[in-house]
Amino acid sequence: MDPVHTCGLDQRTVGEFGQNQTPLRVLVMVEAYTLNGVAKPVLEFCREAARSVSPRVEISLMTFVREKPDNEFLRAARTEGFPIDVIQESGRLDLSIIAKVRDAVRHRNPQVIWTNNTKSNFLIRASGLNREAKWVAFYHGHTYANLLDRTYNQIDRWSHRGADRLVTVCGKFASDLAARGVQSDRIRVQHTPIRIADPVPAAVVRELRNRLCGANSETKILLTVGRLSKEKGHADLLRTVAELRRRSGIPTFRLVLVGDGPELHALESQSASMGIGDVVDFAGHQGNVRPYYAASDIFCLPSHTEGSPNVLLEAMEAGVPIVATAVGGVPEMVTHDRHALLIGAMDAPGMADAMVRLLADSALRARLASAAREQLAAHSPQQYFQNVTSIFLELVTGIS
C-alpha cells in the first residue's frame, strides 16, 4: 500500500480541512454496474482520500440498482470499505427515486456533491439539492446513437445549468461545453488517472496466449477493449482486419475484442460475413483485463469519439504499442509517432497501414511503448486527487 501522503495543494484553500481539522465531506454519485471508465477514477479518488492527511476528505458513494442487488462496482466499493448508499429503482424512468436521493443526501450532509452521469445530474437539479451543497458535475461526453440518447443529452444540458462546476476529461469536450453556452469560468479539464500495477505473472500470460493462439507462439495478438457500441468504431476495426488479410507478408494474427454491449451480435455477423471469423475472438466482459493487455502485441483504439479513455492509459501502463484514432482527448494524451500511431476516425485502410508498420518493426513497437509509459506520471492517482480536491476546496472556501 502507498504511504499516507500530503497533497501539494495551496494551503490557503486547504485551510480548516488540513491535518487534524474538519474533513471535507464529499458525496459521489456513480451509475455503474462494472468497473468502467467512470467507476475506476472514482475508486482511485476514494483510495487517495483514505490516505490523505491534508486535506482531509471524507467520501461517501451513492449508486443505483434495478433487478440485481449486487454488481462488480458495488463489490469493489464494499471490499475497500467505502461507505455507499444503494438506491433501488424499478426502471429507467422511476421518478420516485428523487425522494430517496434527497433523503440519502441529506443524511450524509455533504459539502460537495460530485455527479458523473446524466441520471445523477438530473436528480440533483430536479431535487433542488444543488441549492443545499456545492455541485460538481463531471462531463464524459455524449453519444448520439438513437433518439433516446439525444433526449438524454438534452436533459443533461438542462441539468448542467445548475452545476457550480463542470469538470470534463479533455480540452475538446471543454470547447464543446463552451460552444453550448457554458461559461468558461465554470469549466475545468481533468484527465483520467491510472495506478501503476505489478506485472502480470508470466504463467498467466502464457496460459492466456495458449488459449487464444493455440500452439503457434508466433501469432500476434491485436487487442481492443471497450463497450461494444457504435461510437467505439469496432465495425471499422473489423474492416481493418479484412484489409490486413488481403495484404501479403502479414504475420499470423488474431484480433481479440474484450467487452460487451449492444453491437455484439451485429459485429459477430459482420465478422462472419467478411470471412474473418477464424481470426476474431469476442472475449466478452472481463473483470480483470490486465492479462489481455500483457498478452497482446498491439492495442487498437478505433473510436469515433473519446474523452480521456481509460483503456488507452491501461495499454500505456502495460507497455503495449498503440494504434488509435485521433479523436477527443486522445491527441492530448499521446503524440503521433512519439507515443502511438494516430490515424483519422473511420479510416480502416489507414489503421491497417499503421498496424503493418508496427507488425514489421519491433524497434518501433518498443520505442512507442516506452515513451508512452513515461507519459503516465501526469496521470497518477495522487495528482488526480490533488487536482479534483482543489476544485472542491475552491468552491467551499471561495478561494481560487
Cell of 268: 459477430
Answer whether residue 4 shows pLDDT above 60: no
Beta strand ranges found along the chain (DSSP E): 24-29, 57-65, 84-88, 112-115, 134-139, 165-168, 187-189, 220-225, 253-258, 280-284, 298-301, 322-325, 341-343
Residue given cell 471543454 in the structure block? 174
Answer whether residue 5 shows pLDDT above 90: no
Mean pLDDT of 68-83: 93
Residue 19: what pLDDT? Answer: 64
pLDDT in tens, 167-185: 999 999 999 999 999 999 9
Mean pLDDT of 138-166: 85
Residue 142: what pLDDT? Answer: 76
Residues 175, 247: Cα–Cα separation, whole Å: 40
Residues 309, 314: Cα–Cα separation, whole Å: 9
Mean pLDDT of the chain: 92
Residues 21, 373: Cα–Cα separation, whole Å: 38
Of the chain, the percentage scoring pLDDT greater than 90 comes to: 83
- If phi > 0 it is left, if psi is from -120 to 50 it is alpha, else beta; for residue 110 that is beta
Residue 3: what pLDDT? Answer: 45
Residue 141: what pLDDT? Answer: 84
- CATH topology for 202-376? Rossmann fold (3.40.50)
Cβ partners under 8 Å of residue 374, min gap 6: none
Mean pLDDT of 107-113: 97
Query: Are 1 and 32 contacting, i.e. CB atoms less than 8 angstroms apart?
Result: no
Q: How many residues does the chain have?
A: 400
pLDDT band for position 200 (cuts 50, 70, 90): very high
pLDDT in tens, 251-260: 999 999 999 9
Cβ partners under 8 Å of residue 18, min gap 6: 11, 54, 55, 56
State the pairing for strand pair 57-65/187-189. Answer: unpaired
Answer whether residue 394 shows pLDDT above 90: yes
Q: Check residues 46 and 21 and name the one with the higher pLDDT.
A: 46
pLDDT band for position 95 (cuts 50, 70, 90): confident
Residues 338, 269: Cα–Cα separation, whole Å: 36
Residues 75, 68: Cα–Cα separation, whole Å: 12
Residue 313: what pLDDT? Answer: 97
Query: Are 357 and 364 contacting, i.e. CB atoms less than 8 angstroms apart?
Result: yes
Tell me the DSSP string of 8-58: ---HHHHGGGSTTSPPEEEEEE---SSS-TTHHHHHHHHHHHHH--BS-EE
pLDDT band for position 18 (cuts 50, 70, 90): low
Q: Which class for 14: exposed (0-12), middle (13-18), buried (19 or more C-beta within 10 A)?
A: buried
pLDDT band for position 1 (cuts 50, 70, 90): very low
Answer whether residue 30 shows pLDDT above 60: yes
pLDDT band for position 214 (cuts 50, 70, 90): confident
Residues 123, 30: Cα–Cα separation, whole Å: 12
pLDDT band for position 400 (cuts 50, 70, 90): low
3-state secondary structure of 4: coil
Residue 2: what pLDDT? Answer: 46
Of 307, 321, 237, nearest to 279 by C-alpha is 237
CATH for 11-193+380-397? 3.40.50.2000
| Least confidently predicted of 107-116, 216-225, 365-374 | 216-225
Of the chain, the percentage scoring pLDDT greater than 70 comes to: 94
Query: Are 29 and 39 contacting, i.e. CB atoms less than 8 angstroms apart?
Result: no
Query: Are 33 and 227 contacting, i.e. CB atoms less than 8 angstroms apart?
Result: no
Residue 134: what pLDDT? Answer: 98
Cell of 398: 471561495
User: Where are the chain's structural domains?
Assistant: 11-193+380-397, 202-376
11-193+380-397 and 202-376: identical CATH topology: yes
pLDDT in tens, 271-284: 999 999 999 999 99
